[in-house]
Amino acid sequence: MNAVGDIDIDRAVAELSTGRGYLLFENFFSAELIAEARRSIYQLARSEPDRASHFHGDETEAAQKRIWNLPAKGEAFRRICSDERLPAIMAPLLGDDLMLSSFAANILYPGAPAQEGHVDYPYWDLHARSRWPRTLNASFFLAVEAVVTLDDFTLENGATAIVPGSQKLAAWPDPERFAAESIRLVTPAGSLFLFPALLWHAGQANRSQRSRAALLGSYTCKSIKPIEDWSRCIDPEAAKGYGSRMRALLGLDYAYPAVMDALPGRSSEGKRSRKAINY
Ligand SMILES: O=C(O)CCC(=O)C(=O)O
């Protein structure tokens, strides 16, 4: 079996691509790591102002909060997003050189409204269909999403809604179909759920008395421009201390885009070249 820990990679990839389009793992991360990440997120939420969010219409009085650029904001976040099991499951879909496109937190405070059903493919604007190639389809995935629950996800507090199988449609969700076919990912804190960014999904309204927080990781293949511009978000000095997996996910050691004029005069790519420019 092609496995990492007790996860059968081939089955996982089949489920994500041609199956139900999502995987849910309870207790994926240790209780200590989740507690530390949760503490940091609520602390950051107290110290940071409201930040840009999406799929809440023109809402200005946010009852939810985004904390962006998490790789720069603590070792716990770096440990979570660079956990070796994530690239092991995603690599068959996104390639070994997959990168992190965004790693942020979403906090839904009591009273937070539901998002509209959407896809992240790999940005947020597939509703503007003409901005994307006409032939775009679901034959391969440009991004995979990883949601890490920091609080229990319940029906009352906004557990994410998804439509199983919708990753095969490569289409913006139809609201009526979304309402009729969506299910909720009710799961305890410390869970991970994975889905291709084409799966129809949306955070739901928080009708409880307590906040609901999650980490949202978006992973993409290397030819996609990440949502968060790591070259400007991450302090290069601090990044010298990051592990090699983390650096690779941030694309810090990847050669392209390159100033080709600055490269040495040799053949550096192709099967017969001794060394690609990024090795
Ligand atoms: O927080 C959630 O439940 C999902 C959030 C989401 O899908 C998004 O912000 O794109």
What pLDDT, on the 0 to 100 scale, is given for residue 51? 84
Q: Does the CB atom of residue 214 touch ligand 1 within 6 A?
A: yes
pLDDT reported for residue 200? 98
- DSSP state, residue 79: H
Question: φ, ψ for residue 169 (rounded to 5)?
Answer: -90, -25
Which residue owns the Cα nearest ligand 1 atom 3? 203
C-alpha 75/C-alpha 86 separation (Å) is: 17
Q: Is the CB of 160 under 6 A from ligand 1?
A: yes
**pLDDT for 157-167, tens place per residue?**
999 999 999 99
Domain ranges of the chain: 3-262
- Give the pLDDT confidence score for residue 90 in this predicted structure: 97
The pTM assigned to this predicted structure is 0.95
Please tell me the predicted confidence (pLDDT) of residue 278: 62
Atom of ligand 1 nearest to the CA of 212: 1
Contact 12, 23 (CB under 8 A): yes
* Residues making up the chain, counted from first to last: 279
Percent of the chain with pLDDT over 70: 98
| Backbone φ and ψ of 266, nearest 5° | -150, 165
Q: Is 120 in the pocket of ligand 1 (CB under 6 A)?
A: yes
In the chain, which residues have pLDDT < 70? Answer: 60-61, 276-279
Give CATH for domain 3-262.
2.60.120.620
Report the pLDDT value the prediction gives residue 61, as an integer from 0 to 100: 65
Which of 182, 212, 180, 44 has its CA nearest to residue 113?
212
Tell me which residue has its CA closest to atom 5 in ligand 1.
203
Predicted local distance difference test score (pLDDT) of residue 268: 78
| Residue 158 to residue 156: CA distance in whole angstroms | 6
